[in-house]
Structure 1
Amino acid sequence: MFSTLRSYLPKPFKNDKTIIPVVRLQGAIGGGGPIKSGLSLATAAIPLEKAFAIKKAPAVALIINSPGGSPVQSRLIFKRIRDLAKEKEKDVLVFVEDVAASGGYMIAVAGDEIFVDPSSIVGSIGVVAAGFGFTEMIKKIGVDRRVYTAGEKKVILDPFQPEVEEDIEYLKSLQLDIHETFIDLVKSRRGDVLADDPDLFSGKFWTGRTAIQLGLVDAIGDLRGVLKERYGDKAEPKLISAPRGLFGRKASVGVGLGAGRLVEGLGGELISSVEERALWARYGL
């Protein structure tokens, strides 16, 4: 009888849908400037908290489209997702769009299941540091580099000074340490399904179809299709976004934007955009 009466209720009073909150995590991780925000814990925290706070939702869906970036921010986002999933007792379903590589894949393994498109790019479990050397250029234009420090290693790998082999080896040791942290994290989440492949942690990346065979992801699937199959035809995804602030930026936790910072940061905005473009281009995107 109740179900019959419910059919006559106004739409707002009906409760026959299974709402699945969806959070989109997109872009280079840790980057950004005064106009454009990068993906970080500060920008992701609010929508994640809101999504996991929906009590009746059986799961939270994450859409990931990121070529990577800061290993620290990647792990912080990963940890926040797992902490919330445990606290709220919800499943986490991850859906990869174009790419979940490097730090993007580190975030993806926070999912209990990872779904991909056959042509998604997945993997790149490694660490990279890149830059430019300007020693020959400043010689040609007659620039005299003057640096004063307290601490003999304060300016290691200065792009305006010749490289020192000892400094390069030190940087590589830091990279190996970060790489091990990344590997341990992936194994802790997917160790029972990972293939025994020597290239798995080499920094190599694969299509979604091959990533399934390697155990990096679980299956091919799109968000709406998987949710309907998992939770029925009445499953309805609900996008959760951070509130917008000045210049349309997504609001972040503990980050202010003053006029001085805006002007000061504009010069770095172009560099940030070029670096992000290079990250995407590495995967043919």
Structure 2
Amino acid sequence: MELTRLRVVVLILLALSATSFLLHYHTRPVIAVIRVEGSIEDFYAYPDLAKQAMRDDKIKAVVLVVDSYGGTVDACFQAEQSFRELNARKPVVVSMGQYATSGAYLISSASSYIYAYEYTTTGGLGVIAVWVSYENYLAKEGIKYYVWKSGEMKDIGAPWRGPTEEENRKLQELVDDYMEKLLRIKTTTEDATIVPSSKIWTS
């Protein structure tokens, strides 16, 4: 009987010890790693990850591993804003890989610290819009097209024609507006500024 009781006590102690270890293990501080790689085009992906890191109390800091040429204007702006909000609550550190240019360079500016390799290519901040027209090719091949639209600019960017003077003006205004937004962004450190140049550098 005494031997049985001893075994029960030992098993209970082992169970309590295991539970204590698991609780301790799961409550240890965590540093999250978020990879910003390839073309940045998903409007929601990085903001969602930033929100998850913000809500998780176990996560005490975040490392952004950045290796990207950039991406679409809207997606990069959204990611930059989300990581900046995260950095206001938890330290965000950037580790640049081979490339961190354009929108990826912008996103990196939302951190408290940036680390890069000697030959990391970075910079290249700017805005570009491209319109490819097959108008002459279609005419040469005798291909006709018909368009019904509710407004003059409803088919803006369409490959079957080039831009009108008004569309040229509007698109340039849009590019300039995005660039002005870039210039208004403040870095998270007082001794750093975002360089508004399309030039690229090694770090």
One fold, TM greater than 0.5? yes
The answer (yes or no) to whether the contact 2:187–2:193 under 8 Å persists in 1 is no
What is the alpha-carbon distance in structure 2 between the residues aligned to residue 149 and residue 47 of structure 1?
A: 39
AA matched with 1:142: G
Bigger fraction of residues in strand = 2
AA matched with 1:97: G
What is the alpha-carbon distance in structure 1 between the residues aligned to residue 71 and residue 59 of structure 2?
A: 31
Q: 1:85-122 CA distances to partner (integer Å, 9 max, x unpaired)?
A: 33xx3111011112111111121111111111111111
The answer (yes or no) to whether the contact 2:60–2:91 under 8 Å persists in 1 is yes
Question: Quick one: structure 1 residues 13 and 68, their matched pair in 2 at CA, closer, same or farther if it must change by over 3 Å?
Answer: same
Question: Quick one: structure 1 residues 201 and 190, their matched pair in 2 at CA, closer, same or farther if it must change by over 3 Å?
Answer: farther
Higher relative contact order (CA 8 A, sep 6+): 1
Q: Which residue does 1:130 correspond to in 2?
A: 130
Q: Which residue does 1:153 correspond to in 2?
A: 153
Provide the secondary structure at the position in 2 that maps to 1:90: coil
Provide the secondary structure at the position in 2 that maps to 1:145: coil
Provide the secondary structure at the position in 1 that maps to 2:168: helix
The answer (yes or no) to whether the contact 1:29–1:69 under 8 Å persists in 2 is yes
2:195 equivalent to 1:206: no
2:171 equivalent to 1:171: yes
Provide the secondary structure at the position in 2 that maps to 1:80: helix
Question: Quick one: structure 1 residues 51 and 152, their matched pair in 2 at CA, closer, same or farther if it must change by over 3 Å?
Answer: closer
Between the two proteins, what is the percent identity of the paired residues? 27
What is the alpha-carbon distance in structure 1 between the residues aligned to residue 110 and residue 131 of structure 2?
A: 30
CA-atom RMSD, angstroms?
2.7
Provide the secondary structure at the position in 2 that maps to 1:28: strand
Give aligned pairs, total: 184
2:34 equivalent to 1:23: yes
Provide the secondary structure at the position in 1 that maps to 2:36: strand
Larger radius of gyration: 2
What is the alpha-carbon distance in structure 2 between the residues aligned to residue 57 and residue 151 of structure 1?
A: 50
Q: Which residue does 1:59 correspond to in 2?
A: 61
